Chain A
């Protein structure tokens, strides 16, 4: 590689990091938070004895998991305006990613709730708790521990998936890379640099996952 390529990589580093800090990371965090809240509601709907509630959740999850994220993103940003609904790039991206995370995480949370032994519900009822209190104080804390590894997967996927937002004009890490690449013609070097930055972000997240798992496992036999 020539000196000028190195110089280009160095010069483009800050715009990309800036894109990560102002685009990729806040996009991933906010979508994950909203998506998780949505997922919890969907998981509880799925587990509800009321059939219509559980059916709505089932159809939602099936639609989200059965269609490409890119298509969901395009429907919201490029499709909805034809119905008179115009949403800016950022909110469009957050809506699409939240809906998507909601669908995937709902199944994780549902499985985690089901993995808590029935005796825990019974002991909670025995001490006098209502269904809601048993859920929040006894069942969900135990389900949380079980769902950390699969939810971490969902989050790491989400961080990488935010690169799709570049296609609806959100300025984030990958869009910065594209712009420098198009301008300079150094596609290989710049896209590898972008890949490296994504990888570093995910490494940090993985170690965060281990810390969280350790913390949640302090009350479990090893």
Chain B
């Protein structure tokens, strides 16, 4: 399945400006600016605690930023209105963000979690159909056909009636990706999608994400897999201390980082001991 809604390719699909977020006195995001255009893949790399996962969670409305704004352009075919959320007005409180805007943000983006977070009391097929059927209220026949096609594509059609505990980590994460795709999002968000997997299971999941990128899905990926980021991303942003220290072309940036902090980080990843 390919990305469903169409918009001009020259336009930034996602625009984040001055995003700020604090947990108590700990300022996790100081000021994040980023843009992703349609069909592009942005990889966020950086040390743990740098704020990269928080950026992603803000994009799905799982965290409410204290300041800044998030914009997703509307679909050219009129299927989606643009999403614009200005967090300065909300003062970091969920109640301050218009429910409709938050709903629209969630409607346009879908997330793949580090620990899969599949619903354990639902079968694989039910997991995939839950959002489209119950929330989006699309017709069952259409939803089921699409869900089965997606499961088929990731080689898990025969697991449709299994429960998550019966699957390996790699299989669970592929269901997690299918669950996100079935929501027909404009923007796919990946939060360290392979960090919880056994090393021999990482490949299948990364290959699938790479295929999706090639099909033209717009994605933001938080990852520690530098080689993967280099291959799949159109742009890499290095996040540290709640800001984007530098960003640019993946090959260029990994080979010749401009900033000292980026250099240190890459060195530590490439030569851990």
What is A's interface to B at a CB cutoff of 8 Å?
117, 119-120, 122-129, 133, 137-138, 141-142, 145, 218-221
Which A residues are in CB contact (< 8 Å) with B179? Answer: 127
Can you list 12 pairs linking A and B with CB atoms under 8 Å apart? A119-B115, A120-B119, A123-B118, A124-B119, A126-B60, A127-B130, A127-B135, A128-B183, A142-B120, A142-B121, A219-B120, A219-B121
Interface size on B, residues (CB 8 A): 27
Partner of B135, one of A133, A145, A218, A221: A133
State the CA gap A145–B183 with chains docked (Å): 28
Partner of A219, one of B61, B62, B163: B163
- Please state if A141 and B121 are interface contacts (CB–CB under 8 Å): yes
Interface residues of B in 99-136 (CB under 8 A from A): 103, 106-107, 110-111, 113, 115, 117-122, 130-131, 134-136
State the CA gap A35–B110 with chains docked (Å): 40
Which A residues are in CB contact (< 8 Å) with B180? Answer: 126
How many Å from the CB of A92 to the closest CB on chain B?
A: 39
Which secondary structure dominates where chain A touches chain B? helix
- Please state if A122 and B62 are interface contacts (CB–CB under 8 Å): yes
Which A residues are in CB contact (< 8 Å) with B60? Answer: 125-126
- Please state if A127 and B113 are interface contacts (CB–CB under 8 Å): no
- Please state if A125 and B121 are interface contacts (CB–CB under 8 Å): no
- Please state if A128 and B135 are interface contacts (CB–CB under 8 Å): yes
Known: A127-B179, A128-B136. 8 other contacts (CB 8 A): A117-B117, A125-B106, A126-B62, A126-B110, A126-B113, A142-B121, A219-B165, A221-B165
State the CA gap A7–B117 with chains docked (Å): 64
Which B residues are in CB contact (< 8 Å) with A220? Answer: 120, 165
How many Å from the CB of A137 to the closest CB on chain B?
A: 7
How many Å from the CB of A49 to the closest CB on chain B?
A: 10
Which B residues are in CB contact (< 8 Å) with A142? Answer: 120-121
What is B's interface to A at a CB cutoff of 8 Å?
60-62, 103, 106-107, 110-111, 113, 115, 117-122, 130-131, 134-136, 163-165, 179-180, 183
- Please state if A119 and B117 are interface contacts (CB–CB under 8 Å): yes
Partner of B113, one of A123, A141, A219: A123
- Please state if A123 and B119 are interface contacts (CB–CB under 8 Å): yes
State the CA gap A120–B62 with chains docked (Å): 12
Scoring B103, B117, B163 by chain A CB atoms within 10 A of each residue's CB, the highest score goes to: B117
- Please state if B134 and A137 are interface contacts (CB–CB under 8 Å): yes
How many Å from the CB of B140 to the closest CB on chain A?
A: 16
State the CA gap A221–B118 with chains docked (Å): 14
Shortest 10 CB-CB contacts between residues of A and residues of B = A127-B131, A128-B135, A123-B117, A119-B117, A219-B163, A221-B165, A126-B111, A141-B121, A219-B121, A128-B106
Measured CB to CB, the nearest residue on chain B to A120 is B117
How many Å from the CB of B195 to the closest CB on chain A?
A: 14
Which B residues are in CB contact (< 8 Å) with A129? Answer: 131, 134-135
Which B residues are in CB contact (< 8 Å) with A221? Answer: 165
Scoring A122, A123, A129, A145 by chain B CB atoms within 10 A of each residue's CB, the highest score goes to: A123
How many Å from the CB of A120 to the closest CB on chain B?
A: 6
